[in-house]
Amino acid sequence: MPEPAAPAMTAVLTAVLTEGPLSRVGLARRLGLSQAAVTKAARPLIDLGYLEELAATERTGPGAGRPASPLSIRPDREFFLGVKITADELIGVVCDLTSRVRASAHRPLAGRDVDHVLAELGRLVGDLLDGPGDHRARTRRLGLAISGDVDRATGLVRYSPFLHWHDVPLRELAEQTTGLTVVVENDVKALTTAEHWFGEGVGAESFALVTVGTGIGCGLVVNGRLVAGVHGVAGEIGHIGVDAGGPACHCGGRGCVEAIAGTDAIVERARQRTGRPELTLDGAVALARSGDPRAAAVFAEAGDAIGCGIAAVANLVGPARIVVSGEGLAAYDLFEPSIRTGFERQAFGAAATCPLSIRPLPFEEWARGAATVGIQSFVAS
């Protein structure tokens, strides 16, 4: 008997992973394959321990006598590491095959140079793999999520603005440091992948994930696939200009969404408006919540800029739904009204009816996104 086609195995594993448990009949309908092809593709996955047959629960068709046995993922068959790299901290998680977090850890960064970050990455990986749960024996892959311009195919970080990295071969260096198979992805795209496979985007042919924090990012899924673009930077709504007379942005542009609504921009604008140069983000949030009109205006303007950026995505792509997230939304009560107002004002026609879900996520979810990229890479292999 010839070996099953790799695309069929990948399709079956992906479908059960993201939408399962599923019967062979359901898989055949879902994937446009024959039942024989599904059975052939599933057999080696069952033999290798990635899939298992559950107790028979449904019949194969009207009048059929033999109930079907759905196929399900065995989550503990393999584990995946995910690490989110920020300017001052590494956040790591161990996830099972269904992207459920089994362990997490943080390591502060005393510096941003590549050698220091790699050394701390090696220590973090050791902490996670050799800690409770003994995950090392069943962990082969590490996903890294980092802000900026990332070439996923080669693992090259072309530019990461908050780390000040240029042309860093991160995949190669991380593999040498950890001994694991490494995949590197832009952090927003990694989080979008997690939402697509295991979150609000499951089953959606098109959706957008917008992130609010130090940067303003956007991941796009169109026709069921994450959009990277020819240059790998598709979805950079943080650098859409929304105010030609607005503040200068680190990208060289002016009036970008990020220059108005990024964390650093908010803090700087709040300091200027209030005349308090020592003000922190938490201080600006507290002032706005206490009713200070100058601080409140800064958050309202930031939310409006974000809403305009989201409207541009809705007008251009027409996603079925949009999720707004990120650590910056810890102050979501200050952002949400003006995000929705800016979006509704700028969205064209029926695009304004696109469902807008606003919810904050902790950094562990970004690390989980990195692990999900590792899962996706494994499934594709």
pLDDT digits (tens, 9 = 90+) for 222-266: 888 888 776 666 777 889 999 888 899 888 889 999 999 999 999
Asked if the domains at 78-192+365-380 and 202-360 fall in one CATH topology, the answer is yes
The pLDDT assigned to 194 comes to: 93
In terms of Cα–Cα distance, which of 81, 167, 58, 168 is closest to 130? 81
315 burial type by CB count under 10 A (0-12 exposed, 13-18 middle, 19+ buried):
middle
Do the Cβ atoms of 159 and 165 come closer than 8 Å?
yes
**In the predicted model, what is the mean pLDDT of the chain?**
89
Q: Who's near 369: CB < 8 A, 6+ residues apart?
A: 82, 84, 143, 145, 187, 190, 191, 192, 193, 194, 195
Pairing of strands 181-186, 139-146: parallel
The pLDDT assigned to 278 comes to: 95
- pLDDT per position as a tens digit, 268-301: 999 999 999 999 999 999 999 999 999 999 999 9
377 burial type by CB count under 10 A (0-12 exposed, 13-18 middle, 19+ buried):
middle
Torsion of CA 97, 147, 174, 7, to 10 degrees: 40
Averaged pLDDT, 58-82? 75
**CATH 1.10.1840.10 correct for 202-360:** no
Whether 339 shows a pLDDT value over 80: the answer reads yes
Confidence of residue 132 (pLDDT cuts 50, 70, 90): confident
- pLDDT per position as a tens digit, 207-217: 899 998 888 88
Tell me how far CA of residue 117 lies from CA of 90, 122, 176, 188, in angstroms.
Answer: 8, 9, 13, 20
Q: How far apart are CA 348 and CA 46, in angstroms?
A: 49
Q: Who's near 47: CB < 8 A, 6+ residues apart?
A: none
- pLDDT per position as a tens digit, 180-204: 999 999 999 999 999 888 988 887 7
User: What are the backbone dihedrals phi and psi of residue 185, each rounded to the nearest 5 degrees, phi first?
Assistant: -145, 150
CATH topology of domain 6-73: Arc Repressor Mutant, subunit A (1.10.10)
Do the Cβ atoms of 214 and 203 come closer than 8 Å?
no
The pLDDT assigned to 317 comes to: 86
Q: Which CATH number among 3.40.309.10, 3.40.50.10860, 3.30.420.40, 3.30.70.120 corresponds to the domain 78-192+365-380? A: 3.30.420.40
Confidence of residue 4 (pLDDT cuts 50, 70, 90): very low
Averaged pLDDT, 154-163? 92
Using the structure block, give the residue that is written with the tokens 């068959």.
77
pTM: 0.85
Domain boundaries, the chain: 6-73, 78-192+365-380, 202-360
Confidence of residue 2 (pLDDT cuts 50, 70, 90): very low
Helices (H), the chain: 6-19, 24-31, 35-47, 114-130, 170-178, 187-198, 257-261, 263-274, 281-289, 293-317, 332-346, 363-380
How is residue 372 written in tokens?
């999900």
Averaged pLDDT, 348-360? 86
Neighbours of 240 (CB within 10 A): 20
Confidence of residue 67 (pLDDT cuts 50, 70, 90): low
Whether 1 shows a pLDDT value over 60: the answer reads no
Least confident piece of the model among 95-99, 102-106, 167-171, 216-220:
216-220
Whether 3 shows a pLDDT value over 50: the answer reads no
